[in-house]
Homo-oligomer: A and B are copies of this chain.
Amino acid sequence: MTYCVGLLLKAGMVLLSDTRTNAGLDNISTYKKMYTFEDPGERVIVILTAGSLSVTQTTMARLQEAIEDPDSDENSSIMKARTLLKVADIVGACLADVASDITEKLGRHRQAMASATLIMGGQRRGGEMRLFLIYPEGNHIEATADTPFLQVGEHKYGKPILDRVVTPDTSLTDARKAALLSMDSTLRSNLSVGMPLDLAVIREGDCRIDENRRIEQGDPVFAEMSQAWSAALRDAFGKILI
């Protein structure tokens, strides 16, 4: 499984993904699930992926091919699309096509369906930041002020902390912390989500990635945060009277 989360705030966006991929419980690997596309100052797009690895890798490879194709246009390249909504449509159509192709291949062998779900966030110069959740069928929903975060994969363990602290007015520092703590709760409670993590922070209006960092297993800053959070929770727990 997977856990990916994207937060859309007035100050910017925070995107975070784990890297654990498993084919059965006994075949565990590390694959990045965050893909960044950047024309600094002009356009930034970050895509987080959850689902069948063959679907997500092929989708990302096709999107990249379209970007590099000299004949690509605003209808095929996510770096040329006129709006972020159009980017979401291109990504969604590519995802649905790839999933359909692979499911057809699997169907010949009577296997289950292959599919994936994506989070896509970005901004183009002159446009607003936008954050989408793209379903396996290619349709999408968008984060709003009422619901300023989107999650895919093992989303339940890490939802309570986000529900409690994230609003559109949350600072980028706090949003980054909330995303990491949400991931920390998920890592603790579900083995199918694993380190290292990929983190991207985008400031509103910059149209480039402000911070793009891989947090490795044993990262001292993350480990310290994790321990401090455990201690703070136990401390808070001790103070509650009922």
A159 to B174, CA, bound (A): 23
Contacts of A235 in B (CB 8 A): 236
CB closest chain-B residue, reference A190: B156
Asked if A108 lies at the interface with its beta carbon under 8 angstroms from chain B, I say no
Q: How many copies does the complex hold?
A: 2
Asked if A197 lies at the interface with its beta carbon under 8 angstroms from chain B, I say no
Given the known A-B contacts A157-B157, A242-B176, are A234 and B164 also in contact in the complex, defined by CB atoms under 8 Å? yes
A159 to B154, CA, bound (A): 13
Given the known A-B contacts A159-B157, A160-B188, A188-B163, are A240 and B232 also in contact in the complex, defined by CB atoms under 8 Å? yes
0 or 1 for each of A184-203: is its CB under 8 Å from B? (1 = yes): 01001110000000000000
Q: Are B165 and A185 in contact (CB under 8 A)?
A: no
Asked if A35 lies at the interface with its beta carbon under 8 angstroms from chain B, I say no
Asked if A48 lies at the interface with its beta carbon under 8 angstroms from chain B, I say no
Asked if A54 lies at the interface with its beta carbon under 8 angstroms from chain B, I say no
0 or 1 for each of A203-242: is its CB under 8 Å from B? (1 = yes): 0000000000000000001101100111011111101111
0 or 1 for each of A85-112: is its CB under 8 Å from B? (1 = yes): 0000000000000000000000000000
Given the known A-B contacts A221-B242, A232-B239, are A160 and B178 also in contact in the complex, defined by CB atoms under 8 Å? no
Give the residue among A177, A178, A232, A240 with the most B Cβ atoms within 10 A: A240
Q: Are A156 and B236 in contact (CB under 8 A)?
A: no
Q: Give residues in A with beta carbon < 8 Å to B.
A: 154, 156-157, 159-161, 163-165, 174, 176-178, 180-181, 185, 188-190, 221-222, 224-225, 228-230, 232-237, 239-242
